[in-house]
Structure 1
Amino acid sequence: MNFFVSVIIPVYNVASFVEKAVISACTQPEVSEVIIINDGSTDNTLKIIKKLQKENNIIKVFSHFNEINKGRSATRNLGIQKATNKYIAFLDADDYYEDNRFSNDKTIFETDSSIEGVYNAVGFQFYRSIDKNEKDFFKLNTLTQKVAPENLYEALITSKYGYLHLNGLTLKRDVINKIGYFNESLKVAEDSYFLFKLALKVKLVGGILDRPLAKRGIHDSNVFDKKALYQKYTIKMYETLVIWCSKNKVANYIIDDLFKRIWLLKQKEKNRLYKDITHWAGFFYSNPKLLFSIFSIKYFPIIRFRKMLFPFFYKR
């Protein structure tokens, strides 16, 4: 079996980290191309990756049209489109792979041709001082046990056994035909959206979960520290996932659970009723398939707040 991997690295103003990331991908025996997409960097990032490209012919460098900044989703999507191998993997430019990142994945894919993806543990590399609470939190980005593919979505949406990270994924490239690309309207939480779609439609299995095969860089510029931004886009992520599920014949109980999550997050905003009505009316009006479903009744604020008058919709 030929097992060659295309590693996709989106880069934006990561001059301090990108060389380590790229070299860690190039030194993996299974990697035959490292696809770097420059997302409109304004520091020395482009200069560094051009230098690395001259030193190693498996490195391919691309940019968006007119070298503009389009965000992580659009940048990864361009990388997927440029990939030529059967297998793809992702690496953030401020992170890096450990040695033998893909050796166990190769064995798994060779053992069972029906497997479409493998997930592995990802650890942390600290580039700033951290307190005790952070140290306890940043232990290992993984699931604590292997989960049957048909149960993976539930495990991820509930965080029952932990979390996954894109750096630990190896996928057959053609799974994109099943689930589509990253959502370019999401500034953050685009990775969760992608992982949820994978778990719903793709046969993913656990690889190495007790030790990291990649490391995430923890530094002062990490986007996951921006809580307000995540709160806003987590709602948007769930909404886009609802739309995707409704178009891809996902079971209604899963869609209902997503609506409940959206509802609870919206309630935390403590908006006035008219603002919530405007939000939900706009959402359902722009998605006719959901507008003409029980969900548009069950989750419309006036009815939701008066559920005692409509017990039929709220039976447990």
Structure 2
Amino acid sequence: MKISVIIPVYNAEKYVANAVHSALHFKEVYEVILIEDGSPDNALQICIELAEKHERVKFFQHTDHKNHGAGASRNLGIEKSTGDFIAFLDADDYFLPNRFAAEKELFKNVKIEGVYGALGVHYYSEKAKKQYYRLFGERLTTVYKKYEPKDIFKGQLHMLGTFGLFSIDTLTVRKEALLKMETLFKPELQLHEDTEFLFRLSFYLDLYPGIIDQAVAIRGVHESNRITKVDNREINPAISRAILWREVSNWLQSEKEVSEDIRTHVKRMHRSFEIAKAPALQKWGMIVRYLFTDYPSIRSGLYNINFRYSLF
């Protein structure tokens, strides 16, 4: 295997070296591609030093040297990659020694286009743990049982009950299989761009479970995480989720092979978060408006109001 590990780097001077070293641990990692995304801290200099020190580390920036977001940075990394497989890693996260143990065996089957695993969590400080334990706890981010590839898309859309989810950090895909996707990451999405990408990826590609009962990578939680900045009690996280589901709904309009039950479900998810994000008076007005026409959306909306701080 020749794996290209793509790491978007923004404001991660304290963590990026650890991420890189965790990837270089594997002989299967052909290259580590750092995309420095206009960081305000000293991450740029650290990326330069890592590339100078390690032959397998390659360093790139956007042509204007400005911040473009994680989605655009991952797209640039894919464009610059020369490996046969693509894996992703956030700059404040890191791989564990078993990261590619299942992949080495599964990818011997040429029909397998992607493999996913389980993600653990590490709190970089007691303050981060105190603030964000309610989001991540100590639990694995994983798919709870082994599913056939045909079910992964519906599972991620929350149509199969207690499905779980997998992270971009635990995904490995054949680079040539990505050609099935007209669009990779959507740069216009500043949050949940990885979730939206995984939705579409599981629609176009056959994805298989690797190690899902123990962590193969670790999410590093600290006070400056993008997700923790948004998912706190000062900001309504339903706003970014409404944008996510609107984007998914718009995409499905161009896919003729998608069944009507999926289209209806996605519309309801979008509508439910639109209800959840609304101010109190507007919220109840929206519920009344849909009262006799779309009860499932109201039910979902009330669920998302009550559990607005859940991850998804």
Give the direction of change, closer, same or farther, for the CA distance of 1:68–1:185 in structure 2 (3 Å limit).
same
Which whole-Å CA distance do the structure 2 matches of 1:43 and 1:137 have between them?
29
SS at match of 1:33: strand
SS at match of 1:32: strand
Ranges in structure 1 where 5+ consecutive residues have no aligned partner: 278-300, 309-316
Structure 1 residue 100: deviation in Å?
3.6
Which whole-Å CA distance do the structure 2 matches of 1:102 and 1:247 have between them?
35
Equivalence for 2:269: 261
Answering whether residue 77 of structure 2 is matched by residue 79 of structure 1, we say yes
Equivalence for 1:163: 165
Equivalence for 2:121: 124
Ranges in structure 2 where 5+ consecutive residues have no aligned partner: 295-312
Following superposition, which runs of at least 4 residues in structure 1 exceed 3 angstroms of deviation? 131-136, 269-273, 301-306
2:244 to 227, 233, 237: 237
Aligned residues between the structures: 281
* CA contact 1:224–1:230 (8 Å) conserved in 2: no
Give the direction of change, closer, same or farther, for the CA distance of 1:253–1:61 in structure 2 (3 Å limit).
same
Instruction: Look up the equivalent residue of 2:247 and give its one-letter code.
Output: T
Which whole-Å CA distance do the structure 1 matches of 2:19 and 2:210 have between them?
22
Larger radius of gyration: 1
Structure 1 residue 21: deviation in Å?
0.3
Equivalence for 1:251: 259
* CA contact 1:98–1:215 (8 Å) conserved in 2: yes
Give the direction of change, closer, same or farther, for the CA distance of 1:87–1:140 in structure 2 (3 Å limit).
same
Give the direction of change, closer, same or farther, for the CA distance of 1:136–1:195 in structure 2 (3 Å limit).
closer
* CA contact 2:119–2:169 (8 Å) conserved in 1: yes
Taking the TM superposition and a 5 Å limit, the aligned residue runs for 1:268-283 are 268-270=276-278
Answering whether residue 293 of structure 2 is matched by residue 307 of structure 1, we say yes
In the TM superposition, what whole-angstrom CA distance separates every residue of 1:20-69 from its partner, at most 9, and x where no partner exists? 00111112110011110000012111111111111111111000122100
* CA contact 1:186–1:233 (8 Å) conserved in 2: no
**TM-score normalised by length of structure 2:** 0.83
Equivalence for 1:41: 39
Taking the TM superposition and a 5 Å limit, the aligned residue runs for 1:19-168 are 19-110=17-108, 112-129=109-126, 130-131=129-130, 134=134, 137-158=137-158, 160-168=162-170
Across the aligned residues of Structure 1 and Structure 2, the Cα RMSD in angstroms comes to: 2.4
Identity value in percent? 33
Which whole-Å CA distance do the structure 2 matches of 1:135 and 1:306 have between them?
35
Equivalence for 2:301: none
Which whole-Å CA distance do the structure 2 matches of 1:155 and 1:223 have between them?
25
SS at match of 1:67: coil
Which structure carries more helix by proportion?
A: 1
**TM-score normalised by length of structure 1:** 0.82
Structure 1 residue 194: deviation in Å?
0.9
Give the direction of change, closer, same or farther, for the CA distance of 1:307–1:203 in structure 2 (3 Å limit).
same
Structure 1 residue 255: deviation in Å?
1.3
Instruction: Look up the equivalent residue of 2:33 and give its one-letter code.
Output: I
In the TM superposition, what whole-angstrom CA distance separates every residue of 1:190-217 from its partner, at most 9, and x where no partner exists? 1110111122221000000111111110
* CA contact 1:4–1:85 (8 Å) conserved in 2: yes
Which whole-Å CA distance do the structure 2 matches of 1:136 and 1:236 have between them?
22
SS at match of 1:240: helix
Structure 1 residue 306: deviation in Å?
5.0
Structure 1 residue 103: deviation in Å?
2.9
* CA contact 1:13–1:45 (8 Å) conserved in 2: yes
In the TM superposition, what whole-angstrom CA distance separates every residue of 1:165-204 from its partner, at most 9, and x where no partner exists? 0110000112322232111111111111011112222100
